[in-house]
Structures are given as structure tokens and as C-alpha cells.
Amino acid sequence: MVCPVHPWFGASPNGIVDSAQLIKIKCPPKSAMSLDMFLSWPNLQVGDKHCYLSVNYVIDTCQPSLKQTNLFYLYVLFQTQLAMKCLGLQSCKLAIQTPAEHLELDMLLDKVYADAQIKHLQDFYFSYVLAMLADDFVFKKV
């Protein structure tokens, strides 16, 4: 879906509930993997460091939340926040699904974070991507 405010930007939600909540679904890459295995599985490797998807439970509410110190969290945060901003939504239900189990996490739009990321993307798009596409068009590479 194309963002009405920034038409150079778009999002592809897994779903939208009641025109108000984004649905984002993540599934383990191996269909037989349990949720517990997925939560301790190395998702990304940067240099010699593995980054793991892990879950913390907020003690007061016993509600799960992703640890904010790993790259998977940053990837999910970036993706969901920008999709909510693009679609004009205020919340997201993140579902992590395996064949036998699932985990649901609620996320709210962080307008300051989303606006800052849109600004970075806009600068990159108009400074580099659009210029490269224009050059490719002029020199008949596309």
C-alpha cells in the first residue's frame, strides 16, 4: 500500500483489523521448529556475533515483550513502526507462529521514532536511489 503522505514509500501488511490495527506475522524458517527453539535460535550474524530473538516477561503484567537489545527486535521495530506510520495506524499485533504454538505481542506507534526513520529514508531515497534510477534511465540501463 502506498503511503498517502509520502507516495515514494509503501508498506505490505499481513493484515489490518477493524481499520485500526496492523497485523504482522513472523514464522520460524524451519516448519518443525518449536517456539522455544525459535526464541533461542540465532536469527542474524553480524561479524562474529550471533543475535538471538528472545522474550522477556514484564513482571508486573506477565506480558511478553521482545528484548530491546537484539537485532531482530530492531528489525521488527523498524518494519512495524514504518508500516503503522504509512497506513495511519496506532497499534500492531505481532504474532510469532509455529505449527503448534504462537506468541502475540502488542506494539504501539512511536511517532517520534517513525518520523525520524521516514526522514532518513526520504534523504536516502531522494539523494541516492532516485539519482541512480535517473542515471540508469538516461543511459538506457532500465
pLDDT computed for residue 139 by the predictor: 86
Q: At what angle do helices 71-87 and 111-124 cross, to 10 degrees?
A: 90
Identify whether the C-beta of residue 6 lies closer than 8 Å to the C-beta of residue 16.
no
Residue 135, all three cell numbers: 542515471
pLDDT computed for residue 136 by the predictor: 86
> pLDDT band at 1, cuts 50/70/90?
very high
Interval 114-136: pLDDT, tens: 999 999 999 999 999 988 998 88
- How many residues are listed for the chain in this entry? 142
pTM of the entire predicted model: 0.72
Paired residues of 49 in beta bridges: 46
pLDDT computed for residue 60 by the predictor: 42
- Report phi then psi at 30, rounded to 5: -110, 120
Name the residue ranges covered by the structural domains of the chain. Answer: 15-109
* Residue 112 reports pLDDT greater than 60: yes
> pLDDT band at 21, cuts 50/70/90?
very high
Interval 28-58: pLDDT, tens: 666 656 766 665 555 544 444 444 444 443 3
At 14, the amino acid letter reads N
pLDDT computed for residue 141 by the predictor: 78
